[in-house]
Copies of this chain bind each other. A is one copy, B any other.
Amino acid sequence: MWKPDRNAKIPIYRQIVEHLERRIAFGELPPGSQLPSERRMAEQLDINRSTVIQAYEELRASGLLESTVGRGTSVSRTKWGLTPSQTPNWHHYTEGGAFLPNLPLMRRIREVTRQDDQLIDLASGELSDDLFPNRLIQDLLKEQPFEEHLGYELPQGHAGLRGTLSLFLERQHGIRTTGSSILVTSGSQQSLYLITQCLLSPGDAVAIEDPSYSYSLPMFQSAGLRICRLPVHKDGIEPGDIIQLYREHRIRMIFLNPNYQNPTGSVLSMAKRKRLLEIAAEYRIPVVEDDPFSLTTMQPEPPQPLKSLDQDGIVMYIGSLSKIAASGLRIGWLVAPQSVVARLADARQQMDFGLSIVSEWLAERLMSSERFDDHIMNLQLSLQLKRDQMAESLHKHLPGEVLFDLPQGGLNLWCKINHKINDSRLLEDGIRSGVVFVPGSVYGSEEGYIRLSYARPLLKEIDPGIMALAQALRMQNAR
């Protein structure tokens, strides 16, 4: 985002004037475009409000901006003699279309973390920079000459990467598959998007866990799906609930995160896994298994994914590098019956023509490197340290006020607050105290829960982060 240069000789208000003049002249802010209020613009640029007022005044004087009481400041429609009807009504276009915007609480969290890098981030599900395999990736880029074909990739993705993935899936997760049943995607988000867009139709009912990460995705609503809830207990969902949902709503697909569920951290028990697969087979309902966290385990004998028990092609399995290596590589995978993979690959061609060969090549090198196992082991140790620190700080600063089960993998603590809170007010109080986290309602949960992630903060930031949370809760109580 553009910011004025404080060391320049040109006064700051003048820099703003010139910046806006350029953007208006380039058509980036067409006639009628709404500008931020003076207060908001001042916040964004981190300057005095009076400076913005001065800049806006000058632009109004030159006829480029106009302000109306109640409607704020916008780019003049009369610039260069244009009549109001001479540019497209962009507002009308951007408000249409099939895509719902992101949830307000999520937008707010993203906005503040982007603007203020002093905030301690217990909201993001992303790993901290020190957990990424930076050095390994640099070495791979330097050591291995890039000799791939630079043309369009196969619709299912790089053949070598799919081969490496089939070995990886068998070795790490006990999933037996071949490259022809794997679709390389740009991450779990794209895998879910392809499934909801290509295999389901508006009006279809689907079952998702409650609470669940899926509620944070407007994707399900954008696809016009009817959502049915499967309550999550300590050992995961109750498979029998599926029969009930099928009878009442004819659910057409089940979305689950059996290992270290997001946000609760629960693990579906083995008995429930077997029962679930029986029911899914009997009622012929495909299961989508989202499995971002299996390799973030802290257990000596971690649970295998549901997919490893599936011999009949009932489960579509989704994994990615985002939570175990680097989200910025945008590499994920989907394992499904071949006809499904072919259909999704064909549709993906129409959306984006496939993935970047450089990223796929690098992912292949990374996952077949001998050093990748070391990276995973280090990651698991670091996450365990961070989890333990967070639990300790919660016991210290909020004894008895916050309840949680210690998760055995994943990136999150799911906390019940022991007194009444208001989600969005608590978030704002948190921001004022210097910490950000995700209120439980984002995951479809009742109020009174928050998700604290130990992935993103550095180890040393966790204790101050929890202290800031304690302060925010005190502000809530004082209201």
User: A residues bordering B, Cβ < 8 Å?
Assistant: 1-2, 22-23, 25-31, 33, 80, 82, 85-91, 93-94, 96-99, 101-102, 114, 126-127, 129, 132-134, 137-138, 141-142, 145-154, 176-178, 180-181, 185-187, 189-190, 193, 197-201, 217-219, 222, 252, 280-282, 284-286, 310-315, 326-331, 337-340, 342-343, 346-347, 349-359, 362
Residue A282 contacts which of B86, B193, B343 (CB distance < 8 angstroms)?
Answer: B86
Instruction: Tell me whether A91 and B151 are in contact (CB under 8 A).
Output: no
Instruction: Tell me whether B199 and A96 are in contact (CB under 8 A).
Output: yes
On whether A151 and B2 interact (CB within 8 A), knowing A27-B311, A352-B190, the answer reads no
Instruction: Tell me whether B150 and A28 are in contact (CB under 8 A).
Output: no
Instruction: Tell me whether A132 and B151 are in contact (CB under 8 A).
Output: yes
Quote the shortest CB–CB distance from A454 to chain B (angstroms): 16
List 14 contacting pairs A-B, 8 Å CB cutoff, sorted by A.
A23-B181, A27-B311, A29-B313, A29-B338, A87-B284, A93-B199, A93-B252, A97-B200, A99-B346, A142-B145, A150-B326, A330-B352, A330-B357, A358-B358
Residue A356 contacts which of B1, B284, B328 (CB distance < 8 angstroms)?
Answer: B328
The quantity of this chain's copies bound in the complex is: 2
Instruction: Tell me whether A198 and B356 are in contact (CB under 8 A).
Output: no
**Residues of chain B with a CB closer than 8 A to A218's CB:** 350
Most chain B CB neighbours (cut-off 10 Å) among A28, A282, A311: A28
**Residues of chain B with a CB closer than 8 A to A150's CB:** 129, 132-134, 137, 326-329
**Residues of chain B with a CB closer than 8 A to A356's CB:** 186, 328-331, 355-356, 358-359
Smallest Cβ-Cβ distance to A102: which chain B residue: B346
The CA-CA distance from A25 to B29 in the complex, in Å, is 58
Smallest Cβ-Cβ distance to A87: which chain B residue: B312
The CA-CA distance from A134 to B151 in the complex, in Å, is 11
The CA-CA distance from A350 to B192 in the complex, in Å, is 10
Instruction: Tell me whether B284 and A337 are in contact (CB under 8 A).
Output: no
Instruction: Tell me whether A96 and B338 are in contact (CB under 8 A).
Output: no
Instruction: Tell me whether A197 and B358 are in contact (CB under 8 A).
Output: no
Instruction: Tell me whether A88 and B284 are in contact (CB under 8 A).
Output: yes
Residue A129 contacts which of B33, B138, B151, B349 (CB distance < 8 angstroms)?
Answer: B151
Quote the shortest CB–CB distance from A86 to chain B (angstroms): 4
**Residues of chain B with a CB closer than 8 A to A330's CB:** 352-357
**Residues of chain B with a CB closer than 8 A to A331's CB:** 356
